[in-house]
Amino acid sequence: MTFEKEIKITEVALRDGSHAVSHQYTVEQVTTIAKALNEARIPYIEVTHGDGLGGSSLQYGLSKTDEMKLIEAAVAVSDFSKIAVLLLPGIGTIEDLKQAAKIGAKMARIATHVTEADIAKQHIETAKDLGMETVGFLMMSHMAPVEKIVEQAKLMESYGADTVYIVDSAGALLPDQVRARIKAIRQAISINVGFHAHNNLSLAMGNTLAAIEEGATRIDGSIRCLGAGAGNTQTEVLVAVLDRMGIQTGIDLYKLMDVSEDVVSQILQKPQIINRDSLTLGYAGVYSSFLLHAKRAAEKFSVDSRDILIELGKRKIVGGQEDMIVDVAAELSKKKSGSACPSTYTT
């Protein structure tokens, strides 16, 4: 197997990991982590609310600290790493993007549902006009056939994206599905291809390596596995594995290990493990950030969070429809019969 000789990693713990800490990051925490990641020579560090710019809200979860202050803090201590921001059209705005660029963000990652790339046009074009490196992020990529994903990737390329990502938001993809998706868009577009994994089925590392084998050169990781659901591909482990494979990242592995052990471990509210809830996320194929919302709704309505997540998967609920979580919990409560989750489920 022939591999690309250099992989560029984006560290997402200060964005995706925001879900795991209920969006309670402080300036001090972001400063400490970003400074250490910069010293370990991480190419890109993503910093925003878990749901991207403008995500702080009752629907998505209120942030402890204004995200612009967090971005500014990360920029101030990063003379090597470039600070990236995530934006979901409909949550974040063009003005949010302009403000982030003004305070020093160098990469914009514009995320849409896998079938809705067309809503990213003005945001990708604006990011390019602002001089930002621009990424198209196709979320929930397990929910569309390969042909549709190719079509959407081509749209993002036509808008000016420098990279298009296959995003396994639910941690539901299997390795052969990752291979098919990466291979297809790698053959269809001339820009970089990236991959973002979640570990809900314990496949984040395997899926990431499958993506790299098919030509993905932009890869996301979260240090200490700090991300939504069961977390993402663990950055320090990924760097070690790639080094063993002779693939260059330019990252200082020892320093990255130390950041994980001495800094990030102190922030984790609990270890990022695959428990019954996060496993259900991957099994049902629902958005990883639904987990905390589902658990809260389950407690409120005295139902099993697994039943909520399975029902959301059946209804193909996606990011932006978080209000449906409470509705589903209320419906399940009304017809509660005491039965466990179904023994089989087809995504």
244 annotated as a binding-site residue: no
User: Whose structure tokens read 């003004």?
Assistant: 102
For residue 27, give Cα distances in angstroms to 48, 69, 106, 264. Answer: 12, 7, 19, 14
User: Whose structure tokens read 């899926």?
Assistant: 207
Q: How many CA atoms lie within 13 A of 275 on its CB side?
A: 12
Q: Which residues of 223-252 are buried (b: 16+ CB within 10 A; e: fewer)?
A: bbbbbbbbbbbbbbbbbbbbeeeebebebe
- Positive/negative CA dihedral, 313, 317, 318, 322: negative
Beta bridge partners of 92: 89
End-to-end CA, the chain: 31
Report d(CA 310, CA 280) in Å as an integer.
Answer: 7
Is 49 considered catalytic here?
no
The closest alpha carbon to 48, from 86, 19, 79, 74, belongs to 86
- Helices 121-129 and 146-159 cross at an angle (nearest 10°) of 40
What's the CA angle centered on 336, arms 332 and 342, to 5 degrees?
80
Report d(CA 318, CA 253) in Å as an integer.
Answer: 36
Among the options 19, 49, 123, 142, which is catalytic? 19
Tokens of 55: 């995500």
| φ and ψ at residue 8, rounded to 5 degrees | -100, 125
169 annotated as a binding-site residue: yes
196 annotated as a binding-site residue: yes
Q: Give the type of residue at 220.
A: D
343 annotated as a binding-site residue: no
Binding residues: 15-16, 169, 196, 198, 287
List the catalytic residues: 19
Binding residues for substrate: 15-16, 169, 196, 287
